Amino acid sequence: MRFQFSEFISQLFSKAWTNRSFGRIRSRVVRLVWRALPTIFAIVIIIPFVYFQTLQPLEFWVYNSFTTWRGDRPWDDRIVIIAIDDASISKLGGFPWTRNRYVQLLQKPSLKAASVIGFDILWSETSPADPQLAEIIGRYQRVVLSMAWNKSGEALLPTDELSNAGVAIGHILKREDSDGIVRQMDLQIHDIPALSVAMLQTYELTTAALSHLPSLRQPLTINWTKRIKDIPHISFSDVLDDKIPASAFRNKIVLVGVTASGIDGLVTPFDRNPPANGVHLHAVLLQNLLQKNSLTIANNQDVWSIALLISFCMSLLLPRRNLWLGFISASIISGLWFAIALIAFNFNYWIISAVPILMLLLTNAVIALQERWQVQRSLNYAKSQIFYDATHDRLTGLFNRALIEEKLQNLMFLDQALSPHTYPANVKHRLLAVLWINIDRFKNINDIFGHPIGNLLLVEVGKRLQSCIPITASTARFGGAEFVILLENLANEQLAIDIADRIQSRLQEKFILQGHEIEIAANIGIKFHEVEPPVEQGDIAPTHEQIREQKPAEQISPETILRDADTAMFYAKKLGNSYTKVFEISMRERVLERLQLEKDLRQAVAIAQDPQNQDPQNQENQEFLIYYQPIVSLKNMRIVGLEALIRWRHPQRGLISPTYFIPLAEETGLIIPIGDWIMRNACYQLKSWHQRFTNAKDITISVNLSPKQLAQDDVLDKCLNTLQEIELEPQYLKIELTESSIMENPNFAVSVLRKMQQAGINIYIDDFGTGYSSLAYLHKFPFDGLKIDRSFVNNIHADNNGTEILQAIISLAQSVNAHIVAEGIESLAQLNYLQDLLQEGDGQGFFLFRPLDLKGIEAILQTSM
């Protein structure tokens, strides 16, 4: 019993193992068949093409193309053609000629040196001149004659008298393919060799031994190596006129035949219109045989085997997950096959191309279908993930902008497509709210703690936002540190404001991230929008397209609502940290006004940069103007310098103050081209005044340099190039810049300013005393002078502290040998005090001079300073 049980267990495991092995083998077979399916399909498709020779025209095209691309090959100079050309027929009379013409030809002494003479002319009908022609042919003993067969199959042999006189006879029957081109020649028909073969056999007997000829039982594939216009020809009439020396025929194989147009036409890959002639066929065939460069056709079975092997390798090896890889691989392999066939053709081997290339392309087509099937499976499998990625933020998992806009679109317009009867009766309108939330100074968090911590913070912010809103609301991240919340079906506006307050409270709680305590502040902008219920219009509700066409007059769209919420957030940010602001129409108007002003400012900059407006003497088209405020020596009250101040002459608004548009230029980066324009025009004007006014030779020009200009790598080069172009000495230029602009990038700024000083340009710190770096960094800055801010000058006599601070600043400047310019002098008392306090300083202010235009400054310079 024990033995039987163990045997049963053994048989059970053996059977299980057999089933597992069979399953594994079956799986491998199925996988192999699946892989080999493209090759099997290609074979099934190719067989009818091969059987019915459907691809034969394509092979003919390849043959013609290869022949044309390869071009002419060197001609064998042992072959000479005596051409019965148009000129000979015109001179000697219409063709065909009598035997006497050929008797005259053979009587020429020059032909006696020829090794073989072959006539590509049929003489099957008797003529009275046959005895004379036969006699002279017999005298040569190396003349080969031609024969052919008519349509009935009857042989067209030379007359008996001529046949007996000739040394051999060769046929001139040609084989044309379906496209009319002769590519093959039967070397022997009914034991009669071709004319060229018979001539070579005679040449071997009379002149020189040749290596064995190819088998005459197999057709010869012709290798067309010369265009007919390039094959050497000797005109029949020139031979009769003794114009050809005997050396031209010595030991040569001479072919006599018709080359005149319209007679015995023959199409070659080179020549279709006008065509070649039969004599050219035999000439090329002679060359092929002499040089052994006729085309050798590759065995089709070998070609099929190689194509099948490549196709099978493609089926097995190419992946099914990359469509382009299959196309590229098939294209490369097909191109490689084509290139190999072309190279082989250059070495006189003919490899068929159409069938193998079609097989490879069909193989790839099936591989592509398999790939598409697998891709479709993958797409169906990953469809939900793709939709998720398209509608959600990758980092936080919140919605993205596209989905919020779509939700807004549906809430604003699709509800209007409902019938009034299906709309809730107790709902007069649907109130929506969009909260735009911006995390303040998020860049600083990334810079301090690193981007990984910053990313974790954004994720936690998203979680806190979701904890503050109802389940029907939608939360999205719009990129960076900006979040948007869409609130639907609000009972009143206060609910959205309460949610915003709750968010502010939650975000002010500390975040603990990987041991770091982080506190943040947020600003929130709120935009409300009411969706009106549909108006009853009969029993038919308007379509969605009709609703879209009937938008409200103010053209409210999802983009508009989001933009308004962003605008409200911008105004909240102006108030400080952790503020909430509800959108008002006036905000949009101010934003639009600012956008229009920016557009106009860009236009003004474009006009200033226009090459046609670069002449400083012709500023009629310019919108920018330069006003100059004189700087006066407090010692003798003479004008020692001018500060260039820009004004904007707007075409519609008139003169615009710099305090209005300079901050916008700074924000948009337009301050850089504006500053360059001021520098060039101010320096040019100063140079002009130096030349025109004797008492203005020593005055300087002060030009303000913005922080963005100072941050440019080429700021020094621009200054020096401007001075060099205008031929103004550097000491007449003073660069004014604030302490805060230097402190944005102190190391770079100090390096640039030091180079400016070395070049001779004076550096002045403007509004000194107002920057956070006033005293701490004073010893680090390379500068030549200080401009005391007007706030200190205005405090003179106002209180003792103001006077003491002014005296301290002056003492500090004098201790570092800095020249002092006092700004904002607006009274005689301030002037007298500064004159007593400053022995070598300068002053500037409305009490002395207001900023003046070009004419005002020139009027002053014309008088004594």
Give ∠ CA 680-684-690 in degrees, rounded to 5: 150
Q: Are 833 and 796 in contact (CB under 8 A)?
A: yes
Task: Give the tokens for residue 324.
Answer: 């382009």
pLDDT confidence of 264, banded at 50, 70, 90?
confident
| pLDDT of 179 strictly over 90 | no
The rounded distance, in Å, linking the Cα atoms of 276 and 266 is: 5
With tokens 């039987």, the residue in question is 4
In angstroms, the Cα distances linking 443 to 394, 448, 457 are 20, 9, 12
User: Is pLDDT above 50 for 303?
Assistant: yes
| Residue pLDDT, tens place only, 49-92 | 888 888 888 888 899 899 889 888 889 999 999 999 999 999 99
Q: How far apart are CA 738 and CA 736, in angstroms?
A: 7
Pairing of strands 511-513, 516-518: antiparallel
730-789 pLDDT tens trace: 999 999 988 777 777 788 888 888 999 999 999 998 877 765 544 555 667 788 898 888
Identify the CA nearest to 790 among candidates 766, 824, 764: 824
Helix (H) or strand (E) holding 564: helix 558-575
Order across the sheet with 182-185: list the strands.
Answer: 175-176, 182-185, 220-221
**Phi, psi at 320, each rounded to 5°:** -100, 15
Q: Which DSSP letter does residue 544 get?
A: H
pLDDT of residue 617 exceeding 70, the answer is no
Nearest to 786 by CA among 769, 808, 803: 769
Q: Which pLDDT does position 801 carry in this prediction?
A: 66
Average pLDDT over residues 157-173: 93
The dihedral region occupied by 531, where left means phi > 0, alpha psi between -120 and 50, and beta the remainder, is beta
Residue 550 binned pLDDT confidence (cut-offs 50, 70, 90): very low
9 has a pLDDT exceeding 80: no
> What mean pLDDT do residues 658-679 have?
87
Which residue shows structure tokens 């905000």? 587
pLDDT(465) > 80: yes
Q: Residue 425's pLDDT is what? A: 46
E strands of 469-521, at which residues?
A: 474-477, 482-490, 511-513, 516-518
Q: Of the candidates 190, 207, 188, 208, which has an alpha carbon nearest to the alpha carbon of residue 198?
A: 188
Tell me the residue ranges of DSSP E strands in 739-861.
Answer: 762-768, 785-788, 819-822, 842-843
pLDDT at 534: 59
Contact 367, 326 (CB under 8 A): yes
For the residues 445-472, what does the mean pLDDT come to?
91
Parallel/antiparallel/unpaired status of strands 842-843 and 819-822: parallel
Predicted local confidence at residue 462, as pLDDT: 93
Name the segment(s) of the chain with CATH classification 3.20.20.450. Answer: 603-775+848-862
Work out the pLDDT band at 116, boundaries 50, 70, 90: very high
15-41 residues labelled b (16+ CB within 10 A) or e (exposed): eeeeeeeeeeeeeeeeeeeebebbbeb
Q: Which of 13-27, 412-426, 575-589, 806-820 has the lowest mean pLDDT?
A: 412-426
Burial level of 1, CB count in 10 A (0-12/13-18/19+)? exposed
Instruction: Tell me how many degrees the CA angle 351-289-297 measures, rounded to the nearest 5.
Output: 15
pLDDT for 221: 92
Q: Which residue has the higher pLDDT, 620 or 394?
A: 394
pLDDT averaged over every residue in the chain: 84
Express each pLDDT in 423-435 by its tens digit.
444 445 689 999 9
| Side-chain-side CA neighbours of residue 454 (13 Å) | 16
pLDDT at 321: 61
Residue 460's pLDDT band (boundaries 50, 70, 90)? Answer: very high
On the question of pLDDT at 112 being above 50, the answer is yes
Share of the chain above pLDDT 70, in %: 89
Choice among 17-31, 197-211, 228-242 with the minimum mean pLDDT:
17-31
Residue 687's pLDDT band (cuts 50, 70, 90):
very high
Q: For residue 116, what is the enclosing H or E element?
A: strand 116-119
Decide if 243 contacts 90 (C-beta within 8 A): no
Give the C-alpha separation, 828 to 721, whole Å: 41
Instruction: Specify the domain boundaries for CATH 3.30.70.270 within the chain.
Output: 401-418+429-533+555-583
Where does 401-418+429-533+555-583 sit in CATH, by number?
3.30.70.270
Instruction: Kindly tell me if the per-residue pLDDT of 326 is higher than 70.
Output: no
Report residue 600's pLDDT band, with 50, 70 and 90 as the boundaries. Answer: confident
pLDDT (tens digit, 9 = 90+) per residue, 375-398? 777 777 788 788 888 889 999 999
Confidence (pLDDT) at 158: 94
Predicted local confidence at residue 29, as pLDDT = 79
**Does the structure show a pLDDT above 90 at 506?**
yes
pLDDT in tens, 820-864: 999 999 999 888 888 888 878 899 999 999 999 888 998 898 875
Q: Span 480-489, mean pLDDT?
A: 92
Between 560 and 814, name the one with better pLDDT: 560
More confidently predicted of 486 and 382: 486
List, in order, residues 6 or more apart from 775 with CB less than 8 Å away: 812
Residue range 224-228: mean pLDDT, rounded: 88
For residue 7, what pLDDT is reported?
54
The tokens describing 683, both together, are 């320096």
The highest-level CATH class for domain 603-775+848-862 is: alpha beta
